[in-house]
Amino acid sequence: MSWFESFVLGLVQGLTEFLPISSSAHLRLTAAFAGWHDPGAAFTAISQIGTEAAVLIYFRKDIARILSAWFRSLTDKEMRADHDAQMGWLVIVGSIPIGVLGITLKDQIEGPFRDLRLIATTLIVMGIVLGIADRLAARDEDGGKHRAVKERKTLKDLGIRDGLIYGFCQAMALIPGVSRSGATISGGLLMGYTRESAARYSFLLAIPAVLASGAYELKDVGEGHVSWGPTIFATIVAFFVGYAVIAWFMKFITTKSFMPFVYYRVALGILIFILVSTGALSPHAGESAG
């Protein structure tokens, strides 16, 4: 992998990680369209550490408060009723599904799941799911001629059941094209949470999963065409770009709909199917070389 490739892929990772359009799919597609080797699951997981570092800094006050309350709750029974302490436990509970499935499906994640036809399918299907969830949220928030405005849930309403559902939604993102943020935000909206609450918990929930995944894949750097230097460079680029994107996105969702992302996902999925069906793009582009 050249330094230019690592810069472009780091830029793509930072731009797409927090948007509901799938960063892993865009890394795979960028390489396929450019005629580069597939960067692979290891590069994807490690570069995500950069964007997750952006989450740690952006939500540093929330994270510090949650960690403090959670640690105190281990010895102080009264603290166990504290919302922040409960959030700490809910993040742990919600991380279980992706941890178990990530290890179980490791071979599929690094192989069959990277087929461009599957990525196109998940882009379209999960885009439609996000669109439906967004419309339901808008209906509750706006009401209508014969409907009253319906109050949506916040993170204070989050319990173990919803935390696990969030966790299984996040685990779906093991398939490129699903999108970690897209799946968890869709799940949250369908469960009745506000856009801001669904996005906030989505980003907090991703922290242990992404850091653990990146650490696990460190052993594979240096194998094949991906080396340490470009990987670290891409991770740094992803951090700076990702921080800017997350700051913009958290402001965007307070007043805007997710529908632009829905249209983009469906259009991109259709484009991939057209390119593959006409032979302009191989569904395994870059894999053999990578």
d(CA 179, CA 7): 22
- Note the Cα 57 to chain centre separation in Å: 17
CB contact set of 165 (below 8 Å; sequence gap of 6+): 187, 191
Tokens linked to 68: 């403090």
The Cβ of residue 78 has, within 10 Å, a number of other Cβ atoms equal to 9
Does pLDDT of 288 surpass 60? no
| pLDDT tens column, 133-158 | 999 998 887 765 666 678 899 999 99
d(CA 109, CA 42): 10
| pLDDT tens column, 206-224 | 999 888 888 877 776 666 5
The pTM is what? 0.86
Residue 220: per-residue pLDDT: 66
According to DSSP, residue 220 is labeled G
